[in-house]
Amino acid sequence: MTKKIKKQEAKTKKRKSNEMKHLFKHIYIIGVILAILATTACSVKYAFNGASIDYTKTKTIELAEFPIRSSYVWGPMGTN
C-alpha cells in the first residue's frame, strides 16, 4: 500500500473513533437525564387528613369494620 492510502485509512479510523465517542457521550447524557427524571417523578406520599390524637386523653382507639371496595381484591377477602 502506498503512504497516501495508509494516511487516508488512519484518518477514516480516527474519524469513526471520534464519531463513536460522541455517540456514546450523547447516549450517556440522555441516560443520566432519564435516570434523574425517573427518580424525581416517583414519590410516595402519605396523608391522614390532618387528624391529630391527644394520647394523654385517649388511651385506646377502636376501628369499626369498613368495606373493601377495591376491584383488585381477592374475592373471599372482600366478603364477610
Q: Are 80 and 65 in contact (CB under 8 A)?
A: yes
* Residue 80 confidence (pLDDT) above 60: no
- CB neighbour class for 9 (10 Å; exposed up to 12, middle 13-18, buried from 19): exposed
Q: Are 22 and 14 in contact (CB under 8 A)?
A: no
Cα end-to-end span (Å), the chain: 88
| Predicted local distance difference test score (pLDDT) of residue 79 | 60
* Residue 11 confidence (pLDDT) above 70: yes
Q: What is the pLDDT of residues 29-48, one digit of tens each?
A: 999 999 888 887 766 666 66
Q: What is the pTM of this model?
A: 0.39
Could you give the percent of the chain with pLDDT greater than 70? 78
